[in-house]
C-alpha cells in the first residue's frame, strides 16, 4: 500500500508523520479533495469497517418510517439497574455487605423486605375508573366492625398513593371518628348541608379528621335524633361528594343490615367486608349476613366478600376458630383472622405504629385481599 503524508485538512491523521511511521489510510480518513489527480491512481485504500464495529453504528438499521418520540426515552430503557447500580439493599446483612464492598456487591433485599414490598404492591394496585366503595357490615354489634374499618383504612392509606376515606354511616351514634385524632367537629350532616359549596378537595378536607397514616374519617351525627334522619338520599349525597376526591371509600355501616342507608351502600359496593366475632353466636350472625345478601340479590357481592374474623374479645379460647374459618371459606372469597391486641381492645384512638406486628400484618393482608377483589370485579 502506498504511503503518503496526510494533508492538514484531514482531521483524523496527525499533522507530522515520521519517516519510519507506517500509516494505513482508511476510507474515513482520506479527504478526496486533498489528493491530486496524478497521484490518485497510485493510492490503494482498503475498507476495513466491520459490520460489528459499534463505533460506526450511528443509526439503527430498522428504525421505521419515522423517528422516535421523546416518550421512548423511559427510565427502564436508559437507567442501568444491574450489578452495583441497583437500589441500595435493605436488611442488616445485605446493607453491610454492600457498604463494605464499596457498593460493588449487591445481594438484594432480605426476605422480609421482599415480602413487605410484595404486600405493598398488592395493596397499592391503582384503580382506573373512579372511586371504589367498600361497606364493612354485620348483623351484630360489638364484634369490632368499627375497629376493622379503621385497620383496613390505615393499612390502605399507609401504602396507597391515592386518598382513602372512611365514612361513619352508623344510624346509632357511630364511633369511627373516635379511632383517630379528632381534627374536625363536622359530620356527615355538614356534608349534606354544604354539598353545593364544596368545590375542591380543600373544602371537603376541612370536614374530616385524619391520622398519621393519611386515613381520613368523616364522623356520623352525635345526636341520636339527627342520626335517625340520615337516610338513603343523604348517604348518596355524601358518597357522591366523597367520590370526587377519594379513590377508596370505606363505609362503616353500623349495626344491622335493614336500615335505609344499607341499600345505596350495597348498590355502590365494589367490595365487601363482613365482620365476625370469635364466639358461636357472633359467627352464626355473620353467616346469616351472607345469607341475607344472597337472598336479596347481592349473591355475587357475598361470594366476593372477605370475612374478617375478629378474635380480639376475651372468652373465645374454647371456640374452635379453625372450624369457623373453614365455614366462611366455603361461603366467601377469603377469611382473615384479626388477633387480639391490647391497643385495639382499649376502644380508643388507634396508633398504627404501636400495634403489634401480627395485627398490622393481618390488616395488610385484609387490605390486599379487598383491593384485589375490587380489581377483579372491575375487570369482569
Q: Could you read off the pLDDT of 18-64 as tens digits, one per residue?
A: 545 555 545 444 454 444 444 444 444 444 444 554 444 444 555 55
pLDDT for 242 equals 96
Beta strand 273-277 pairing with 306-310: parallel
Is the CB of residue 213 less than 8 Å from the CB of residue 229?
no
Q: Per-residue pLDDT tens for 281-311?
A: 999 999 999 999 999 999 999 999 999 999 8
C-alpha 341/C-alpha 356 separation (Å) is: 7
C-alpha 10/C-alpha 30 separation (Å) is: 7
Q: Is 265 exposed, middle or buried (0-12, 13-18, 19+ CB in 10 A)?
A: buried
Neighbours of 139 (CB within 10 A): 21
DSSP strand E in the chain: where? 132-138, 164-168, 209-210, 215-218, 248-255, 273-277, 306-310, 334-338
pLDDT for 258 equals 61
pLDDT for 352 equals 96
**277's grid cell:** 366475632
pLDDT for 45 equals 47
Domains of the chain: 1-46 (no CATH), 85-119 (no CATH), 127-379 (3.40.50.300)
Is the CB of residue 143 less than 8 Å from the CB of residue 283?
no
Report residues of the chain scoring pLDDT below 70.
1-65, 80-86, 92, 99, 107, 171-172, 223-229, 256-259, 313-316, 375-380
pLDDT for 130 equals 87
Amino acid at each position: 500500500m502506498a504511503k503518503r503524508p496526510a494533508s492538514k485538512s484531514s482531521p483524523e491523521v496527525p499533522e507530522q508523520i515520521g519517516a519510519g511511521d507506517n500509516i494505513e489510510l482508511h476510507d474515513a480518513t482520506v479527504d478526496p479533495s486533498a489528493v491530486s489527480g496524478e497521484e490518485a491512481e497510485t493510492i490503494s485504500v482498503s475498507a476495513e469497517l466491520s459490520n460489528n464495529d459499534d463505533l460506526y453504528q450511528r443509526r439503527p438499521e430498522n428504525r421505521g418510517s419515522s423517528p422516535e418520540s421523546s416518550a421512548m426515552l423511559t427510565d427502564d430503557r436508559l437507567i442501568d439497574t444491574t450489578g452495583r447500580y441497583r437500589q441500595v439493599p435493605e436488611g442488616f446483612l445485605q446493607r453491610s455487605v454492600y457498604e463494605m464492598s464499596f457498593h460493588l456487591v449487591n445481594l438484594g433485599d432480605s426476605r422480609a423486605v421482599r415480602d413487605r414490598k410484595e404486600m405493598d404492591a398488592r395493596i397499592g394496585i391503582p384503580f382506573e375508573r373512579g372511586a371504589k366503595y367498600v361497606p364493612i357490615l354485620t348483623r351484630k354489634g360489638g364484634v369490632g366492625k368499627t375497629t376493622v374499618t379503621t385497620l383496613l383504612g390505615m393499612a390502605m392509606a399507609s401504602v396507597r398513593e391515592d386518598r382513602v376515606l372512611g365514612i361513619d354511616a352508623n344510624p346509632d351514634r357511630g364511633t369511627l371518628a373516635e379511632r383517630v385524632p379528632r381534627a374536625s367537629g363536622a359530620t356527615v350532616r355538614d356534608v349534606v348541608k354544604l354539598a353545593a359549596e364544596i368545590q375542591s378537595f380543600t373544602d371537603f378536607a376541612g370536614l374530616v379528621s385524619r391520622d398519621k397514616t393519611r386515613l381520613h374519617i368523616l364522623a356520623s351525627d352525635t345526636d341520636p335524633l339527627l342520626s335517625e334522619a340520615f337516610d338513603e338520599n343523604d348517604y348518596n349525597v355524601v358518597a357522591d361528594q366523597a367520590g370526587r376526591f377519594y379513590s377508596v371509600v370505606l363505609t362503616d355501616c353500623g349495626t344491622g343490615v335493614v336500615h335505609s342507608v344499607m341499600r345505596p351502600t350495597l348498590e355502590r359496593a365494589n367490595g365487601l367486608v363482613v365482620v365476625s366475632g370469635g364466639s358461636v353466636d357472633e359467627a352464626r350472625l355473620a353467616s346469616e349476613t351472607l345469607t341475607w345478601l344472597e337472598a336479596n340479590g347481592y349473591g355475587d357481592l357475598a361470594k366476593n366478600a372477605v370475612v374478617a374474623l375478629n378474635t380480639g374479645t376475651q372468652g373465645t379460647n374454647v371456640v374452635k376458630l379453625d372450624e369457623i374459618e373453614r365455614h366462611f371459606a366455603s361461603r366467601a372469597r377469603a377469611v382473615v383472622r384479626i388477633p387480639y391486641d391490647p391497643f385495639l381492645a382499649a376502644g380508643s384512638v388507634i396508633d398504627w405504629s404501636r400495634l403489634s406486628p401480627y395485627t398490622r400484618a393481618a390488616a395488610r393482608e385484609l387490605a390486599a385481599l379487598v383491593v384485589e377483589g375490587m380489581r377483579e370485579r372491575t375487570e369482569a
